Structure 1
Amino acid sequence: MALEFEGDRNAFLQLLKENPGVLIFKFTADWCKPCQQIKQYVDSHFERISSQRIKCIEVNIDEAFDLFAFMKTKKMMKGIPTMLAYKKGNTNFAPDDSISGADIGQVNDFIGRCENM
């Protein structure tokens, strides 16, 4: 199950510093139709892969707008849904892997890559 992100870009950096192995951030919003289309699929994968080593974190951009806006200015994402993956030791905003959009095949490939990080 995904944890809910609360905070700003400093809280995000703190999570990266405490990364146990792999962090996956899913940027979403309640009003986003593509986000809602993949929500159940992604949530089931997050529930399956969440462990001591892999932490899945959901970021509602309406509640963490500072982080979302900052990530957009740094060209880390264009819109939502977007998922970003960070390996342990990566303490900057640039992810080790990412995906944008609601294509189930691409989401599945991304989850597989995250499991093998």
Structure 2
Amino acid sequence: MMQLRQQEAMLSQELGGSAGVEQGFEEALLQVVGSFAADHRLQLTEFSELMIAQDQNFKIETLRLSLKGAYKDHLRLLNHLESDFKLGTVASVDFELRKNYNNQKEELYQTIFVQNLYEDDESTK
């Protein structure tokens, strides 16, 4: 718990201090994925709203995002999120091949679930 609190304080400071954890997580993930996608020929096709679940005094934030592009670029993004993104962890990944009927080609889509766990200060009061 102490490590999580220290990590939360450090990340809050890096994100400007005044922004809440929920807002920082969503914005940081969108910024990281958006810039990575632009540099590696990936197209962000879906970015879900923040889903929050609570268990006693902990909150779990989950975001779902989908991208389309080449397999190697998808793997590079996963590696980048798992090794460099400090605000959350990759919880699940799904690959799906979809037929594009406009050009009669198959396209690879990746759906990623990223989660962030933190202690809810309001429930401990």
Q: TM-score, normalised by structure 2?
A: 0.28
Q: Which has the higher strand share?
A: 2
- Higher RCO, 1 or 2 (CA under 8 Å, sep at least 6)? 1
| Higher CA-based Rg | 2
